[in-house]
Structure 1
């Protein structure tokens, strides 16, 4: 191969492919404009969430090097260091030396700026005590350098947290306008943001997937069978829609924790020998087929129809 490239030649090649093999190619989904706008917002919110997690991990890794006491102070708080209270305190005390000089009124004011309204005095006293606990220290100039880097990472984290909140509100508001909102959110473990991500990747073109098996393969929940001679191996799919697979794991994880048939199905798979990820994939595969059926028939989720109780066989009395 010479490696020569020509835009004209590429265009001719693509035109010939469509001219001779057009019946072998699938048309693009005919989603509505509202569904396309939900796709844009849901993907933007998902990207912002991933960036927030990455920024939080970078900041956590940095604090572990020179300020582990701060991580310990907010280890049991919801959200950890990504919570507004933790970010507000870190903004005024980026080094152990500054944190040790903080007073309770200063911490209370920072918590109030973060939006905290209840339990300010108790929480401020707890944080004040934990930030003063002895820990291994770096030399003062080194701590100051770490503090400057932490403030820079904190600015990135603050921006991504604001983006997640802003895009989340826009995504939920737009998704609520869609006709499939009622059907998708009727499933266990599906809220506005999770449902918006599901609709964003599935779309509202009912002819896009030939059957539920096609949707499951697209989502990566259906297993793959590799047979060669006497060897038969069943594994999970690696080629899939990664966004749909990510939201599917969250959906299955939440549904498995809710009392009802979804948790019973998850526990049944665990009893059969499946590990946690495999059991969640099996549950997601089951719920995805139910979602496909409900969208095709325009009906909401009914757990009684979705998970029928196993048949009971009466035991014969011993003669």
Structure 2
């Protein structure tokens, strides 16, 4: 067999080829793209011989995405996506000085797949449809996170010079496009106080707001209240900053809506979509995020426990001597954890079984988040069973052994 470490960069790959004994057969820097892949194939052929099977080539690389990785898996090689934290800890056996080089990283990755392959996770064989769902679902969530960060920056500026705007647009939510349009139109306390009822109402009407008269009164009253002011140059500087952030938020709102449509379209085209949608607490967006992070390789999770461990919903045990503690997993896929937490919360209202199970956890003196995490952990196990048997969720079957549980309030 051949063991290869691939330390990738934006425009090149440093690779090292080893034999079964760990002897270095070759090291090279390959360009990114078709030329680099062709040179890698030639390197493997040169040192593996004509009789070498593609499955006898094992490659370790610190990513699971991109055209390069897809080309490696398409060639039939065994590819292991190594977590950078795992790789960093592995490299400490060579030196603790912190010295680093690309060639050294490639050597460590080759050693890692040769020595610890049984402890690593191979790249999942997800379908093209699942990969498409992953791309759009992650992009959609990233845009939402970016909107939140931009809003927090804008809100911090408003608190400094124009707190009345925070009160005036509270009912609309300041990330909504109509509130942002009004803020762009009147970004200072002076211009805000001069906004007329007609101007405010026309913006609200254009965005389909109901109860426009009462909302207009609330906005106009809040903008005309007396408050402390800053000097004119400082106010103008803050106003320019807020307008810039507001325009970015308007663009983000537009792109989030467009990407949401893409997420739904790709998700609904996937053959597993109906099973995901049968689960309590899951709609198109949450279902797309869960599918994107779990993937659809039927051989990826050997058991429900393996899926729960990957999801980060199952607890971990730390035991040393006479000390033994059970703790939540904090090193996990945060995108998946966020989606499962949202599903568990929504399931409390749509699934009587999930609600009874949650109430049971609360009677054990668990706080809100740990109890909700237990509900999510149970739902992951149910989802695994549904996907494995290709059946839809059934409330009675899923919670049969919890049917006699009494709510905490009973």
TM (norm. structure 2) is 0.70
Per mean C-alpha deviation after superposition, the further-off stretch among 180-189 and 121-130 is 121-130
Q: 1:111-145: CA deviations, max 9, x gaps?
A: 234x2254333322332222112222222332222
* Structure (1 or 2) with the greater helix fraction: 1
Aligned pair partner of 2:352 in 260, 264, 283:
260
**Does 1:162 pair with 2:254?**
yes
Q: Give the 5 Å matches for 1:90-169.
A: 90-113=183-206, 115-116=207-208, 118-169=210-261
1:244, 1:103 → 2: CA distance?
Answer: 46
TM-score (normalizing by structure 1): 0.89
Alignment partners' CA distance in 1, 2:152 and 2:350: 29
2:299 is aligned with 1:207: yes
Shift of the alpha carbon at 1:284? 0.5
Distance of 2:362 and 2:171 partners within structure 1: 29
Paired position in structure 1 for 2:340: 248
Distance 1:68 1:6 in 2: 51
Is residue 2:101 matched to residue 1:5?
A: yes
Distance 1:234 1:67 in 2: 48
Question: Which position in structure 2 is the counterpart of 1:317?
Answer: none
Distance 1:34 1:130 in 2: 50
Aligned to 2:129, what secondary structure does the other structure show? Answer: helix
Q: Which residue of 2 aligns with 1:220?
A: 312
Distance 1:311 1:202, change over 3 A: closer
Shift of 1:11: 4.8
Alignment RMSD (CA, Å):
2.3
| Aligned equivalents of 2:218, 2:340: Cα separation in 1 | 38
Q: 1:156-185, CA deviations, whole angstroms, 9 ceiling, x for partnerless residues? A: 212222221111110111100011110001
- Contact 2:168–2:220 (CA under 8 A) maintained in structure 1: no
More strand by share: 2
Aligned counterparts of 1:38 and 1:198: Cα–Cα separation in 2? 10
Q: Helix, strand or coil: the match of 1:294?
A: helix
Report the 3-state secondary structure (helix = DSSP H, G, I; strand = E; otherwise coil) of the residue aligned with 2:324. strand
Q: Distance in 1 between matches of 2:156 and 2:350?
A: 33
Give ranges in structure 1 of 5+ residues lacking alignment: 314-319
- Where structure 2 has 5 or more consecutive residues not aligned to the other structure, the ranges are 1-94, 406-410
Higher relative CO (Cα under 8 Å, sequence separation at least 6) belongs to: 1
